[in-house]
């Protein structure tokens, strides 16, 4: 694909960063308008929240990336900090506590805000996976099927000149479907506050576990070689935890039927 969109005046614009920027713009827009409607979130609070999430997500993504290959990054820390690599679950697990701290500090309804953040996360993540496709990272296994894509740019991280499963686009499409389902539930079928967030965790974890089967970048790490990846293990724990919390929150935060 095209890891580098263009270079102008000595400045290189990378496709991955560009797609993340588009996702951030869309996510911040949704965060502000929906947050203002649901909990009275101000524009300054929305900007501050996103900055805190960005910092936490950056640190979490890099920490989990380090544990994928500790020996490599311990010897070459510059590759860890300067590289484009991130681990989504690392970013997510660092961002959630940061969000909860922010909600508590500003006396925002945490359950309602988590529902807003479920859609916000979908927006950023969807654009991020499209950026992965353009950058040639998070690639799939070789395939002879009709959906195979071929990377030819030497700057791509994917193997070149062979058809690969477009796992990045499959995940982006799946995240879009999850987001649309969440919005539909919010509009018609939501039973309790926090439901959208928990459903997002469950649905994404299930989809990610399936997509991991088709991933070809084995460097991401395995708990059991070739059988259970780090992401699948985290997804399993997430489904169990979210399912347990779902049962508790459904009784704690019911939405009035007159809604």
244 within domain boundaries: no
DSSP one-letter string for 181-243: HHHHIIIII--BTTHHHHHHHHHHHHHHHHHHTTB--GGG-EEETTTEEHHHHHHHHHHHHHH
In a domain? residue 255: no
Report the distance separating Cα 49 and Cα 31, nearest Å. Answer: 10
Inside any domain, residue 224: no
Residue 24 belongs to a domain:
yes
Whole-angstrom distance, CA of residue 83 vs CA of residue 68: 14
Question: How many domains does the chain divide into?
Answer: 1
Does 99 map to a domain? yes
pLDDT digits (tens, 9 = 90+) for 215-225: 887 666 677 77
pLDDT tens-digit series, residues 140-183: 999 998 889 998 888 787 888 899 999 999 999 999 999 999 99
Q: Which residues contact 232 (CB under 8 A, 6 or more apart)?
A: 208, 209, 212, 223
Full-model pTM: 0.86
Please name the residue that has the structure tokens 């900090």.
Answer: 81
Residue 178 within any structural domain of the chain: yes
Domain extent for 29: 4-190
């Amino acid at each position: 694909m095209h890891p580098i969109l263009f270079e102008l005046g000595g400045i290189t614009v990378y496709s991955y960063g560009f797609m993340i920027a588009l996702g951030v713009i869309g996510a911040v827009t949704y965060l502000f308008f929906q947050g203002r409607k649901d909990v009275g979130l101000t524009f300054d609070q929305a900007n501050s929240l996103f900055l805190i999430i960005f910092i936490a997500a950056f640190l979490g993504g890099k920490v989990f990336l380090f544990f994928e290959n500790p020996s490599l990054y311990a010897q070459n820390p510059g590759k860890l900090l300067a590289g484009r690599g991130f681990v989504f679950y690392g970013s997510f697990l660092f961002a959630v506590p940061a969000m909860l701290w922010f909600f508590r500090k500003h006396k925002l309804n945490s359950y309602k805000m988590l529902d807003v953040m479920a859609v916000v996360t979908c927006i950023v993540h969807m654009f991020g996976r499209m950026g992965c496709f353009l950058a040639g990272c998070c690639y799939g296994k070789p395939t002879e099927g009709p959906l195979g894509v071929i990377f030819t740019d030497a700057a791509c991280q994917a193997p070149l000149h062979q058809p690969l499963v477009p796992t990045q686009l499959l995940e982006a499409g799946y995240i879009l479907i999850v987001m649309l389902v969440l919005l539909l539930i919010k509009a018609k079928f939501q039973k309790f506050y926090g439901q959208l967030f928990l459903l997002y965790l469950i649905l994404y974890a299930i989809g990610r576990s399936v997509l991991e089967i088709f991933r070809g970048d084995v460097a991401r790490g395995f708990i059991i070689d070739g059988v259970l990846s780090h992401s699948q293990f985290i997804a399993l724990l997430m489904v169990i935890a979210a399912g347990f919390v779902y049962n508790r929150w459904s009784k704690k935060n019911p939405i009035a039927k007159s809604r």
